Amino acid sequence: MKKIIKLILGGIAWGCTMFTIIGIIIALIMGQDNSFMMSTSDYIKQAVLSIIIGIGFTVPSIVYDYENISKFLQFTVHMGTGFCIYMICAYMAGWVPTGFGLGAVILSIAFWIIISLAIWFFFYMYYKKEAENINKKLKDN
């Protein structure tokens, strides 16, 4: 239970961080001449959905604690669950550009798959390096 709570809190942090970073990027792209405004209810909806997405990607990572499951299945469960939650939330938030046709929707999905895989890859490399450091310390003792 402690691990789940830690993952939920980490998901909230990730969701808020990504919401802020993406908001800054959008504001920079729009430039100083444009106003970047949304209603209070839209802001709250966007923020809450970002938090849900963060939780949706962090909580399923608990699957990596089960060593009897293949790495591919762990990855599939983790990313599949996270991405399904993302797609539902993104549609609800209006982040999927459905008004621009199927090509724009596919491009949007591909973009977020690439971003999700990049984040996963960096975490994978980080934890792999940590394991190597721990193994090296164990061998030195």
Vertex 125: Cα angle to 122 and 126 (nearest 5):
85
Q: How far apart are CA 32 and CA 28, in angstroms?
A: 8
Whose tokens are 């996963």? That residue is 120
| CA 28 to each of CA 24, 45, 138: distance values in angstroms, whole numbers, following the listed order | 6, 22, 48
Q: Model's pTM, two decimal places?
A: 0.79
Give the tens place of pLDDT for each residue, 79-128.
899 999 999 999 899 888 888 899 988 998 898 889 888 988 998 899 89
Taking only the tens place, the pLDDT of each residue in 39-56 is 899 999 999 999 999 999
The structural domains of the chain, with segments of one domain joined by +, span 1-95, 99-141
